Amino acid sequence: MIRVVLLAPIDNSLYARLVAFQLRQEREVQLAGIVVRSTLNLKRALNEYRRDGARLLRKFVEKGVRGDKRFAGSAGENLAQLAERRELPFRSLRKLAAEYNIPYQVVSDHNNKRSRAFLETIDPDLVVFTGGGLIKPEVLSIPRIGILNCHTGILPKFRGMDVVEWTAAEGLVNEIGFGVTLHLMDQGVDTGAIIKRERIEFENLRGFEPIRENLEVRMVNLMVEGVRAFVNHTATPRLQKKEEGRQYFVMHPRIREYAKLMLLKQSKAH
């Protein structure tokens, strides 16, 4: 039996709920705790504004306010459809935790004393990270195996932010492709050992949003597969070399427009 704690960015995160729900159904996996970052948190808002700028507003409205409804009108495969297929009954992680009697903690920051104390008490083998900021060494060192993260890009090449768009902007859609990478977290940004990667077919996906929604579905499956691999002792982490990739940052609107054109160009050539 492997003890797992889930870290989530917000209580109604659909990605986190799906992962938690799936893990609950896995044999040999005990979902031993859930830690959620508080949403109404000025320090968090300021930090995220510093990182994302005005895009934070969009993120807040879409994920925080609209929640699952943000997929309404979306044609392709997305998390809401996956939730329907899996018959996910919970609208929040709090409700899921209450139903299954899973210890549940709200924290302002995943790295703070309260979060660390909670994790140390539970003493997990593995932590699955579904969002909520960078994780510091003091927390990284708590779980016996490590902290798993799913990145919406192909590592080691594309680390950091907006990597879906950067893949297109760099003209590497056909060479590298779009996909998700499951990796263990370390002190760097997306530099930890790679467990598994999965590429997607994108020809029928028109634009970055459908691609991203498709990747989110893959993230749920890959995260659960990753945990399963550790249960079965079949996980083979592959270390990344610094020079194998670059860190990318939030994309400026002008570059985004260019990335859109590049995506169109490369999609036609595929």
Partner 1 sequence: MSKKPWLEKLAYFIEPHLSAREVKAFLLANFTRLSEKANSTGGSEFEICRLRHLLGALGWIKADEALHPDHLYTALDLTEAQDWVARLPDGHCLRGGVLVPGIGKFLDRLDEQGLAAERVDEEAERLLKHIETRRQKSITRFTEEMSARENLKERIDVSIFLSRYARRHSDLRFINTAFKLNEWLVREYRAIKKAGLEAAFLLALAEQESSAQEWMA
User: Rule CB under 8 A: is residue 43 a binding residue for partner 1?
Assistant: no
Task: State the binding string over 110-129 for partner 1 (x if CB under 8 A, else -).
Answer: --------------------
The interface region with partner 1, picked from 36-44, 180-188, 217-225, 241-249 by CB under 8 A, is 241-249
Give the sign of the dihedral formed by CA 119, CA 117, CA 33, CA 64: negative
Q: Which amino acid is at 177?
A: G
Q: Which of 40, 54, 87, 203 binds partner 1 (CB under 8 A)?
A: 54
CA dihedral 19, 38, 183, 14 (to 10 degrees): 30
User: Rule CB under 8 A: is residue 68 a binding residue for partner 1?
Assistant: no
User: Rule CB under 8 A: is residue 61 a binding residue for partner 1?
Assistant: yes
Provide the CA 32 distance to its chain's centre, in angstroms: 19
Could you give the 3-state DSSP secondary structure of residue 29?
strand
- Residue 125 or 186: the one with the smaller Cβ distance to partner 1 is 186
Provide the CA 58 distance to its chain's centre, in angstroms: 18
- Residue 22 or 167: the one with the smaller Cβ distance to partner 1 is 167
Could you give the 3-state DSSP secondary structure of residue 162?
coil
Smallest distance, Å, CB 58 to partner 1?
Answer: 5
Task: State the binding string over 150-189 for partner 1 (x if CB under 8 A, else -).
Answer: -------------------xx-------------------
d(CA 189, CA 45): 20
d(CA 108, CA 209): 29
Number of residues that bind partner 1 (CB under 8 A): 25
User: Rule CB under 8 A: is residue 251 a binding residue for partner 1?
Assistant: yes
d(CA 96, CA 21): 8
- Residue 66 or 113: the one with the smaller Cβ distance to partner 1 is 66
Short-list 123, 94, 100, CA closest to 35? 94
d(CA 213, CA 76): 8
Q: Which residues pair with 151 in a beta bridge?
A: 181
d(CA 119, CA 34): 9
Q: Which of 105, 255, 266, 267 binds partner 1 (CB under 8 A)?
A: 255
Q: Which of 15, 129, 230, 248 binds partner 1 (CB under 8 A)?
A: 248
The interface region with partner 1, picked from 23-31, 48-56, 95-103, 228-236 by CB under 8 A, is 48-56
Question: Which positions touch partner 1 (CB under 8 A)?
Answer: 50-51, 53-55, 57-58, 61-62, 73, 169-170, 207, 209, 246-255, 258
